[in-house]
A and B are shown apart, each in its own frame.
Chain A
């Protein structure tokens, strides 16, 4: 056992990390992969079950077409070639949360092969090959900590459709791995096939890691690291395992091909018991399901219906809206936010103003309210309308922030909020003149110095007028009027 704490700092200096990732993603179908049970997360234990997913004697699987559709979508989005014929296979092992004693998966003829995923930016940019995407079903959940001395089994998850996305060993550092996962998660969100939540288990990551001397081309012996439950956990686990391997190699020892389990609490990896690691899964073609034959026309259709993917969208935002790279990154983080920005920008016309508001006020409001973009009470058209009012001078920039906050609270239109709160900017010359004159009269000393040419007092006086107007005065006009009074 090795942890980050006691490893010498320079043990990794001569080595390079090589990483490939296997990612399991739960598909967001209405029903399970091979039966019509509900897939809603968080139902009471064992409610979403039937003879098929309980593996009662005599029950048979029937493939869910929606799962195939979503799996194909993901495969296309990752640039894979979808095979017109793929074959389901049984992966045999005994475990109490695996009702049939085998998992229906795909083995030597997977759904899709040979894709790629571009990760990182600038110098850190690289392309990671996607080896394959295949379909399979999830197992149930074993709950070990609920009843003392017993394990509880919840089979709600048993039979939920998954895809497994296997990458080539193309990553060279733990940040590479995180960049890959971030990019992958983003794509899967864009194409709307999964909740991709590591917390809820709809995204699960296993890593194959090896170490080799810098400059070497042959791959070292790899280990498989499991049990990570966050992206940062993946990063820390990879570093811990890399250090462990480097330390072995430095001492002239060999790395053994084995499965390592990440222990996040102790920040260390330790070998899985050999029983957990040395399965012979006895794969063979699933005789209960005919080969999955896909109409080439359907394969094409699914590819054509793909939405704009993150990388393309980022390039377009930079080009069409003239936005800086960092801003584009923020605005395209999720498809919902990007859609929101784009709708507001189009309705308002000034993309930079819209971008600033979305990155500022909108994100701040979303962060504090735990709302999602989709349930946010200010629709993009309303934000655009508010920006129109600012541009037209009807609402001041500072008043607009208050208006926005109230819109987010009430869902009202900007016009109604501004009206109700008296935040419509006053541009009536008589009223503005009266406020200016009153301020000058109330502050004779400053007024005198201002009139005598002390220009720096202008700001103070504008502020006083704004205060008197309760923020409703148009500051540009106030400015103008004061300058006139000074004999401008």
Chain B
């Protein structure tokens, strides 16, 4: 693979920034003074490359969409722009958001700004790295099984996966429709809350978006934790968990206690089924969602003189990388006649059990659930070659996607100089409660969060 030279990259970046500055100058005159109408004036944002933008390519990190520019833009991007923001750049990601290290991009890996030998996490690795490197304060990512929270944890930034239905998916290139949500990465909880306020809310173009009012999440900034109960699920703190990660979690829970919260041990008994269930449902939906990349209307087409079927096969074989191919094949298999009941249908039943785990925990008086975001910090590029080992990265996050509940990853300290994230989960559509806890944790940890 031949990419641009370093000089070409830097030149292109400067050209883009010049263009953005020109746009921002214009905005300054009109909007700078009106913070209510334009809360994002002065915030250039980075947008993950699987979210449709008008004047920049949307490739999803895939060869099959190389050079593709969308003729329409995602609802979330329109909302960012209406709030005074400017899209600075698109960010690299795992191909079609399938991966946990950002090594699955057709355009090369992303490196972790904290340690360039290590991965930034994935699939929103580019967005997390852009925030961690200080290029932008807010970036959009997308989640299907942890793709915002895990890279946020690896890069030492804040990452939000909203409730399923909280944010419009219109213009987010679908991976697994029943799990996908656009999420926000921010330098701080406040940046993430601001981004969420702007993009959340009903969109008539997404029938799965919820028609519920969007609170001002930043109002949660100074909310006390007194009287709130934090649940600590045993399944997320197995004996095998790295002791140093466990210690940082204990410190985070102490910090929340110091803010007035109580901590209670709870159980989410179906947690260990989440990964197998996720790797049936997500590939099943992906196999259908990715059928449109067929070389007929847009994107790559590899032709020949041997007919339609051969064109399909060549285009998709050459256009999709190995991880995407693996999941499309897996998904096609589990939906096939004779296997549907045993796999897809069964997985949906187990998914309902996982959702019920959360429901009953919250019904028992728990307000917020705290877990580590990942079992371990960022690993070195190339370190995980076994797909299943890679999938285990999402073990603490994919439950939230399956259940649809919101989650946020907040930096809680470092192990060997590498960031560790703590995850806060609340009830469906209780992002306000989630942000309140995140603000409190961030406040209580102070600089310790990055030590």
Give the interface of A toward B (CB within 8 A). 51, 54-63, 90, 92, 94, 96, 99-102, 153, 280, 282-284, 287-290
Asked if residues B288 and A101 are in contact (CB atoms below 8 Å), the reply is yes
Q: A90-B288, A100-B291, A289-B207 are in contact. Are A58 and B335 (CB under 8 A)?
A: no
Chain B residue nearest to A92 (CB atoms) is: B288
Interchain residue pairs with CB less than 8 A apart (12): A56-B52, A56-B70, A56-B72, A57-B173, A58-B74, A60-B170, A61-B207, A92-B287, A101-B294, A287-B176, A287-B177, A288-B208
- What are the residues of chain B within 8 A of A59 when measuring CB–CB? 72, 170-171
- What are the residues of chain A within 8 A of B335 when measuring CB–CB? 92, 282-284
Chain A CB within 8 A of B243 CB: no
Given contacts A57-B65, A57-B70, 17 further A-B contacts (CB under 8 A): A51-B70, A55-B292, A56-B72, A57-B52, A58-B50, A60-B206, A62-B204, A62-B207, A94-B294, A94-B312, A100-B292, A101-B288, A101-B292, A284-B285, A289-B208, A290-B207, A290-B208
Give the distance to chain B from A109, nearest Cβ to Cβ, in Å. Answer: 14
Asked if residues A284 and B344 are in contact (CB atoms below 8 Å), the reply is yes
A339 to B340, CA, bound (A): 52
- What are the residues of chain A within 8 A of B284 when measuring CB–CB? 284
Asked if residues B207 and A99 are in contact (CB atoms below 8 Å), the reply is no
Chain A CB within 8 A of B134 CB: no
Chain A CB within 8 A of B227 CB: no
Asked if residues A94 and B204 are in contact (CB atoms below 8 Å), the reply is no
Chain A residue nearest to B305 (CB atoms) is: A149
Give the interface of B toward A (CB within 8 A). 50-52, 58, 60, 65, 68, 70-72, 74, 169-174, 176-178, 204-208, 284-285, 287-288, 290-294, 296-298, 308, 312, 332, 335-337, 340, 344
Chain A residue nearest to B337 (CB atoms) is: A280
Asked if residues A284 and B68 are in contact (CB atoms below 8 Å), the reply is no
Chain B residue nearest to A63 (CB atoms) is: B207
Give the distance to chain A from B97, nearest Cβ to Cβ, in Å. Answer: 12
- What are the residues of chain A within 8 A of B68 when measuring CB–CB? 57
A59 to B72, CA, bound (A): 9
Asked if residues B205 and A282 are in contact (CB atoms below 8 Å), the reply is no
A287 to B294, CA, bound (A): 21
A141 to B207, CA, bound (A): 27
Q: A51-B71, A56-B71, A288-B177 are in contact. Are A282 and B204 (CB under 8 A)?
A: no
- What are the residues of chain B within 8 A of A283 when measuring CB–CB? 335, 340
Contact for A99 among B177, B288, B292, CB less than 8 A: B292
Asked if residues A58 and B207 are in contact (CB atoms below 8 Å), the reply is no
Contact for A287 among B178, B291, B293, B340, CB less than 8 A: B178
Asked if residues B336 and A287 are in contact (CB atoms below 8 Å), the reply is no
- What are the residues of chain A within 8 A of B70 when measuring CB–CB? 51, 56-58
A289 to B208, CA, bound (A): 6
- What are the residues of chain B within 8 A of A96 when measuring CB–CB? 294, 296, 308
- What are the residues of chain A within 8 A of B287 when measuring CB–CB? 92, 282
A280 to B290, CA, bound (A): 17
Asked if residues A102 and B207 are in contact (CB atoms below 8 Å), the reply is no
Asked if residues A287 and B285 are in contact (CB atoms below 8 Å), the reply is yes
Q: A284-B288, A284-B340, A284-B344 are in contact. Are A54 and B297 (CB under 8 A)?
A: yes
A153 to B296, CA, bound (A): 9
Q: A60-B207, A280-B337, A284-B340 are in contact. Are A102 and B291 (CB under 8 A)?
A: yes
Asked if residues A55 and B173 are in contact (CB atoms below 8 Å), the reply is no
Asked if residues A102 and B72 are in contact (CB atoms below 8 Å), the reply is no
A61 to B204, CA, bound (A): 10
A60 to B169, CA, bound (A): 8
A35 to B46, CA, bound (A): 29
Asked if residues B291 and A92 are in contact (CB atoms below 8 Å), the reply is yes
Per CB-CB distance, the 9 closest pairs between chain A and chain B, nearest first, are A101-B291, A287-B177, A282-B335, A287-B178, A58-B171, A57-B173, A55-B292, A58-B52, A58-B173
Asked if residues B207 and A282 are in contact (CB atoms below 8 Å), the reply is no
- What are the residues of chain B within 8 A of A54 when measuring CB–CB? 297
